[in-house]
Amino acid sequence: MSHSHGWSSGPTSALTTFVLGLSVTSPAGGSWKLAPQFGDLQSAEGGFTTGIGKFQAAWTLEHDGYSLNYNVPRGTTGEIVLPCLSAGKYPSVTLDGRPVQRETQLQLVGSSILLSGSGGSHTIVVS
């Protein structure tokens, strides 16, 4: 007998998809999206598994910005939507310790920045 109730698993999915911001956008997870929403929280961490592997992410607010770590299956591609620190202004962004070029790698859309992501384990710092 199962004590698992479908109605009680909704918050877990909502927290992963909306607060943590991690979701798959194609069957089995060949493509994905990472779009964290901070709200009043200081950090979030979570993940899930599909047929091609584990998807994990974590973000932490810091005094001058935030850091975002993600680990997704190699060979996948994703869209990363980074909240701006000030609406309409490019923040400083590093990917795995290297500066991300504003003109060629980032796209400013309203109060967010779009960045293409690749599979593997990566760290983004926004300040």
All structural domains of the chain, each given as residue ranges with its CATH number in brackets, are 6-126 (2.60.420.10)
pLDDT for 51: 92
- State the pLDDT at residue 18: 77
The percent of residues above 90 in pLDDT, for the chain, comes to 71
Number of Cβ within 10 Å of residue 51's Cβ equals 8
The one-letter amino acid at 91: P
More confident residue, 125 or 6: 125
CB-based contact 22:59 (threshold 8 Å): no
Question: What is Dmax (Cα atoms) for the chain?
Answer: 57
Q: pLDDT per residue over 57-73, tens digit each?
A: 999 999 999 999 999 99
1-48 per-position pLDDT tens digit = 545 556 666 666 777 787 899 999 998 889 999 999 999 999 999 999
Could you give the dihedral angle defined by the CA atoms of residues 99, 121, 30 and 98, in that order, rounded to the nearest 10 degrees?
10
Tell me the pLDDT tens digit for each residue of 72-120.
999 999 999 999 998 878 899 999 999 999 878 899 988 899 999 999 9
